[in-house]
Amino acid sequence: MERTKPSLDVAKIKKDFPIMERKIHGKPLCYLDSAATSQKPRQVIDAVSEFYSNYNANVHRAIYELGEDATRGYEGAREKIAHFINARSSSEIVFTRGTTESINIVAYGWGMKGKLGKGDEIVSTVMEHHSNHIPWFFVQDYKGVKLSWIDIDDEGYLKMEDLDRLVTERTKMVAVTQCSNVLGTINPIKDIAKKAHEVNALCLVDAAQSVPHFPVDMQNLDCDLLAFSGHKMLGPTGIGVLYGKEKVLEEMEPMLGGGEMIREVHLGRATWNDVPWKFEGGTPDPAGAVGLGAAIDYLSSLGMQNVRQHEIELNAYGLEMLGKIKGIRILGPMDPKKRGGLIAFTIPEAHPHDIAAILDAEGIAIRSGHNCAQPLMERCGIPATARASFYVYNSPEDIDRLVKGLKKVQEVFA
Partner 1 sequence: MAYEMYQEQILDHYKHPRNRGEMPDADLQARDYNPLCGDDLTIYLKTDEKGTITDVRFTGQGCAISQSSASMLTMMLKGKNISEAKGIDPDRIVKMLGIPLSAVRLKCALLSLQVLKKALFSKELSQAEAMKE
Nearest approach in angstroms of CB 352 to partner 1 is 8
Residue closer to partner 1, measured from CB, 83 or 353: 353
Residue closer to partner 1, measured from CB, 337 or 404: 404
Nearest approach in angstroms of CB 30 to partner 1 is 15
36 binds partner 1 (CB under 8 A): no
| 3-state SS assignment for residue 12 | helix
Which of the residues 366 through 385 are near partner 1 (CB under 8 A)?
Answer: 368-370, 377, 383-384
38 vs 34: CA distance, rounded Å: 4
Nearest approach in angstroms of CB 384 to partner 1 is 4
Kindly tell me which residue out of 61, 337, 353, 404 binds partner 1, with binding defined by CB under 8 A: 353
Nearest approach in angstroms of CB 353 to partner 1 is 4
81 vs 407: CA distance, rounded Å: 42
Residue numbers annotated as active site = 372
Residues 6+ apart with CB under 8 A from 38: 212, 231, 232, 233, 234, 235, 391
Dihedral Cα 337, 182, 6, 18, nearest 10 deg: 160
Binding mask 76-95 for partner 1 (x = CB under 8 A): --------------------
Residue closer to partner 1, measured from CB, 303 or 369: 369
413 binds partner 1 (CB under 8 A): yes
Kindly tell me which residue out of 358, 376, 386, 402 binds partner 1, with binding defined by CB under 8 A: 358
50 binds partner 1 (CB under 8 A): no
Residues 242/248, Cβ–Cβ less than 8 Å: no
342 vs 345: CA distance, rounded Å: 10
Stretch that binds partner 1, among 47-55, 274-282, 336-344, 360-368 (CB under 8 A): 360-368
Nearest approach in angstroms of CB 394 to partner 1 is 22
Burial status of residue 243 (CB atoms within 10 A of its CB: 0-12, 13-18, 19 or more): buried
Residue closer to partner 1, measured from CB, 238 or 369: 369
351 binds partner 1 (CB under 8 A): yes
321 vs 124: CA distance, rounded Å: 34
Using CA atoms, how far residue 303 sits from 58, 285, 308, 309, in Å, is 33, 26, 9, 10
Length in residues, the chain: 414
Burial status of residue 20 (CB atoms within 10 A of its CB: 0-12, 13-18, 19 or more): middle
Which amino acid is it at 83? H
Nearest approach in angstroms of CB 350 to partner 1 is 7
Per DSSP bridges, beta strands 342-346 and 240-244 are unpaired
90 vs 289: CA distance, rounded Å: 13
361 binds partner 1 (CB under 8 A): yes
Residue closer to partner 1, measured from CB, 268 or 381: 381
357 binds partner 1 (CB under 8 A): yes
| 3-state SS assignment for residue 163 | helix
398 vs 406: CA distance, rounded Å: 12
407 binds partner 1 (CB under 8 A): no
Binding mask 291-330 for partner 1 (x = CB under 8 A): ----------------------------------------
The residues binding partner 1 (CB under 8 A) are 25, 350-354, 357-358, 360-361, 368-370, 377, 383-384, 412-413
